[in-house]
Chains A and B, each alone.
Chain A
């Protein structure tokens, strides 16, 4: 059996709040293979974002292990975790988190420059990525000059900058209206069709329906793991 891209083994995450323990994730085990398109759904506060942060080496579990390519991510130093996020993982956030002072292209180039890519290569790849997400010709625009949907496209292009093995998104359509949300969902679909592994936390039913696998969470636990749902069938089912 080949090693999955990502494996969680009995992962737990607790928060201490005013003397009380909140168990945000209570022993989750999960395997994600390369090329999967996975949605994590569940009621508010069930631990979806916490789990995603653990998957993305943003946060460390209090118990259990998170293995990316068979390597224990939870044991990495801050510097190693940063490097891993730079080269292997792309993030898309609900609020885009673009740098307002930089142009779309410069935002996309940032992770490449950190990874040591040459100026010309950076510019070329940023242009390609922006045209891939449907923003050809908008390279010089700064985030405040772009609509929410367009900003999220820039953020997706930035997430893809260093050809990550895995793209993680936390409520990527949360700030967008239905139509723009659907466009971003279609973009994620295309990303996965082109081979990118996707894990998306969402309340957006349309976005979840497009996933080939849907993980349902409740109270810090995975309560259902639906696989093999064809995206089209799932979309029809709604």
Chain B
């Protein structure tokens, strides 16, 4: 006993074909013989499975329009969405069907605008590209890498923009840290005076303030990195849920952390040393406001 769902196949032309063709090609031959008894299989993506409450093993009818007659098929797999930024805005479903089913659904005959060929990599890719280009007039083969570069130009710009924001944030907070350190050290005038009066040398005073400043910078950065990591995890969890994609929306990389760490420690030591020297050079009585 089954309860077949009807799926309207959304045909949006060529992009879809590109992806589906190689799959369909691979599956079509062995299945042709067994077609009579068993319903053929398709794969749907996780978004569709969730929205239509479909599971592996469910039997559905493939039709171009609701209510039309079509192939009865069984769902054999549920695919995960790609981590592709160009896909997150479109709330589309992806269905993998056999080539002949696709042809009858789209009523597009045996024509395609594009198809993909998987090569073993290395030199074979170059010869495959050359062979396809030479096969007939009007064929134009591209490596997937080149296509990817071309289609991700927008994202490269966005990524640069993000990096700029990141750098500005880190530099601004480092300057903030510098000012805080200068102020905090200045609050120590009385302590420094007491130390100097009890015979603690300038060098010791400067050294201890610099060590403290670099510790503050170091642990401050580590704390900030931990906070950033947590924020990243929250942002990703939230938007991955909203857009149903494995794409990561916020990134914190070892390079980011290294940059922040180096910058803040260098600035921390510099600020600490500067402020400490200023205090240590002053006469202790002057620091106590007595001179």
Whether A218 sits at the interface, judged by CB under 8 Å, is: no
Pick out which of these stretches binds chain B: A36-44, A83-91, A132-140, A189-197.
Answer: A83-91
The complex places the Cα of A91 from the Cα of B191 at a distance, in Å, of 14
Question: Which residues in chain B, 176-233, are within 8 Å of chain A measured between CB atoms?
Answer: 190-191, 193-202, 204
**B61-95 Cβ-contact flags toward A at 8 Å (1 or 0):** 00000000000000000000000000000000000
Q: Secondary structure at chain A's binding surface: helix, strand, loop or mixed?
A: helix
* Candidates B190, B201, B285; contact of A79 at CB < 8 Å: B201
Whether B191 and A85, one on each chain, are in contact in the complex, defined by CB atoms closer than 8 angstroms, is no
The number of A-B residue pairs with CB atoms under 8 Å apart is 55
Whether B200 and A86, one on each chain, are in contact in the complex, defined by CB atoms closer than 8 angstroms, is yes
Contacts of B199 in A (CB 8 A): 82-87, 89, 111, 114, 162
Pick out which of these stretches binds chain B: A92-100, A122-130, A222-230.
Answer: A92-100
* Candidates A53, A82, A89; contact of B201 at CB < 8 Å: A82
Whether A114 and B285, one on each chain, are in contact in the complex, defined by CB atoms closer than 8 angstroms, is no
Q: Secondary structure at chain B's binding surface: helix, strand, loop or mixed?
A: helix
Whether A110 and B285, one on each chain, are in contact in the complex, defined by CB atoms closer than 8 angstroms, is no
Whether A110 and B198, one on each chain, are in contact in the complex, defined by CB atoms closer than 8 angstroms, is yes
The complex places the Cα of A83 from the Cα of B285 at a distance, in Å, of 17
Contacts of A206 in B (CB 8 A): none
The complex places the Cα of A90 from the Cα of B284 at a distance, in Å, of 15
Question: Which residues in chain A, 61-104, are within 8 Å of chain B measured between CB atoms?
Answer: 78-79, 82-87, 89-91, 93, 97-100
Whether A58 sits at the interface, judged by CB under 8 Å, is: yes
The residue in chain B whose Cβ has the minimal distance to the Cβ of A83 is B199
Whether B285 and A91, one on each chain, are in contact in the complex, defined by CB atoms closer than 8 angstroms, is no
Whether A114 and B194, one on each chain, are in contact in the complex, defined by CB atoms closer than 8 angstroms, is no
Whether A59 sits at the interface, judged by CB under 8 Å, is: yes
Question: Which residues in chain B, 271-291, are within 8 Å of chain A measured between CB atoms?
Answer: 284-285, 290
The complex places the Cα of A84 from the Cα of B200 at a distance, in Å, of 10
Whether B191 and A114, one on each chain, are in contact in the complex, defined by CB atoms closer than 8 angstroms, is no
The residue in chain B whose Cβ has the minimal distance to the Cβ of A97 is B194
Whether A158 sits at the interface, judged by CB under 8 Å, is: yes
The complex places the Cα of A93 from the Cα of B191 at a distance, in Å, of 13
Contacts of B190 in A (CB 8 A): 97
Whether B194 and A85, one on each chain, are in contact in the complex, defined by CB atoms closer than 8 angstroms, is no
Can you list the 5 inter-chain pairs with the closest CB atoms, starting with the nearest? A86-B199, A97-B194, A85-B199, A114-B200, A111-B198
**Known contacts A58-B197, A110-B195; can you find 20 more A-B pairs with CB under 8 A?**
A53-B285, A58-B284, A58-B285, A59-B285, A82-B200, A84-B199, A86-B198, A86-B200, A87-B199, A93-B194, A97-B191, A97-B193, A97-B194, A97-B197, A99-B191, A110-B198, A111-B200, A114-B204, A159-B198, A162-B199
Binding site for A on B (CB under 8 A): 190-191, 193-202, 204, 284-285, 290
Q: Could you give 19 example pairs across A and B, Cβ below 8 Å?
A: A53-B285, A58-B284, A58-B285, A78-B202, A82-B201, A84-B199, A85-B198, A86-B198, A86-B201, A89-B199, A91-B197, A97-B190, A97-B191, A97-B193, A100-B191, A111-B198, A111-B199, A114-B201, A114-B204
